């Protein structure tokens, strides 16, 4: 399987593409991209450019296995220029760790053992929801909010249904915000906001959630976020520290990822003719001990393709929803909570 093949953003390959012919004609395409190489928007733009035959030339040097003094000097200069950002990132990480150490209960404090390295990857269940975009917009209008607010409220209800809430019953929603500009060459042009949402209030009247989202976005514009300053550390983080850095970046507690990708270019769905099905999802290599330490994971992605609005819900809750059969009915319940109708598969 393609998902069993490694991707290496440093030495390559940073992405993989597989094609599987189908017995009744046509084919299935699967593309796996390291998030270090590109975020969702960058990936979609690259696919759309490829389908349309547009060649993007960013002036980057061609890859080469040969060592040369010029390459060494260029890389050395870039590393030196990055050092101030690295030091600032270290300071931000230390400050974040200190602020989060007091009064925080971790889901699991068991230390990583040498046996964890040999643990097989856990199967994190994934559920897809497809609904009519116009119906979602109408439901949002009926509630007096924007459609994006309704989607975030739906994410809060999923968090409630799977039990991924804090002691006060609130869901910690972490939303990436695109910072991509025209001719932007960054692989990840993202910042983030965090909103604490009351799932019950989201169900009854999500207008309060909309106010909180607007306030968080305004604060992001004025003051920036806590996650972006940590990005310069990525090239220097050893593999054994990746999960610790992930926890510090997302913050303490039980974060719920909620990514609103927006409307996709139609060419993304036309790699070799109009596709009958398009599914975008985030994949992480977790072991069961990883998930126990993190207290599980929950990620909701949403994107629009033409008249369809699509969600992918990826979640694992220890001693709770650990299979798709357990997760799917909880997603249906969350849809019903928000008065939404969709096909769950």
d(CA 78, CA 213): 37
Number of Cα atoms under 13 Å in the Cβ half of residue 203: 15
d(CA 263, CA 326): 30
d(CA 342, CA 345): 10
pLDDT of residue 101: 46
pLDDT of residue 132: 97
* In contact, 193 and 225? CB cutoff 8 Å: yes
Q: Angle, nearest 10°, between helix axes 207-223 and 147-162?
A: 100
Q: Higher pLDDT residue, 221 or 56?
A: 221
Percent of the chain with pLDDT over 90: 45
Please list the residues that pair with 301 across neighbouring strands: 259, 312
Residue-wise DSSP of 39-108:
-HHHHHHHHHHHHHTPPP---PPPP-S---HHHHHHHHHHHHHHHHHHHHHHHHHHHHHHHHHTT---S-
pLDDT of residue 1: 59
d(CA 75, CA 67): 12
d(CA 40, CA 69): 35
pLDDT of residue 120: 79
Confidence band for 110, pLDDT divided at 50, 70 and 90: very low
pLDDT of residue 250: 56
Give the pTM: 0.84
d(CA 66, CA 87): 31
d(CA 188, CA 35): 7
Percent of the chain with pLDDT over 70: 87
Average pLDDT of the residues of the chain: 85
pLDDT of residue 240: 64
d(CA 253, CA 52): 44
pLDDT of residue 74: 83
Mean pLDDT check: name the lowest of 120-129, 139-148, 183-192, 327-336: 183-192
């Amino acid at each position: 399987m393609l998902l069993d093949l490694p991707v290496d953003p440093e030495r390559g390959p940073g992405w993989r593409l597989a094609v599987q012919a189908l017995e009744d004609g046509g084919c299935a395409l699967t593309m796996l991209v390291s998030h270090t190489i590109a975020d969702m928007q960058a990936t979609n733009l690259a696919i759309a450019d490829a389908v349309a035959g547009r060649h993007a030339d960013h002036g980057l040097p061609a890859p080469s296995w040969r060592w040369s003094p010029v390459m060494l000097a260029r890389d050395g200069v870039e590393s030196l220029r990055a050092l101030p950002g690295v030091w600032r990132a270290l300071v931000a990480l230390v400050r974040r760790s200190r602020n989060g150490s007091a009064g925080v209960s971790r889901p699991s404090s068991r230390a990583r053992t040498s046996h964890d390295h040999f643990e097989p990857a856990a199967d994190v269940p994934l559920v897809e929801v497809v609904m009519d975009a116009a119906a979602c917009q109408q439901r949002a209008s009926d509630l007096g909010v924007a459609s994006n607010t309704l989607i975030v409220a739906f994410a809060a209800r999923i968090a409630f249904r799977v039990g991924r809430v804090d002691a006060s019953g609130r869901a910690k929603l972490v939303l990436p915000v695109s910072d991509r500009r025209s001719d932007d060459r960054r692989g990840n042009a993202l910042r983030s906001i965090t909103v604490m949402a009351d799932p019950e209030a989201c169900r009854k009247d999500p207008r309060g959630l909309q106010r909180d989202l607007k306030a968080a976005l305004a604060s992001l514009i004025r003051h920036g976020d806590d996650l972006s300053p940590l990005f310069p550390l990525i090239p220097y983080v050893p593999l054994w520290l990746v999960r610790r850095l992930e926890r510090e970046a997302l913050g303490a507690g039980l974060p719920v990822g909620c990514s609103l990708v927006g409307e996709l270019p139609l060419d993304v769905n036309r790699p070799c003719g109009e596709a009958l099905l398009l599914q975008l999802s985030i994949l992480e290599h977790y072991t069961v001990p990883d998930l126990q330490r993190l207290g599980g994971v929950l990620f909701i992605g949403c994107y629009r393709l033409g008249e369809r609005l699509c969600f992918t819900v990826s979640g694992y809750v220890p001693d709770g929803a650990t299979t798709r059969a357990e997760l799917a009915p909880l997603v249906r319940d969350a849809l019903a909570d928000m008065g939404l109708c969709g096909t769950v598969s």
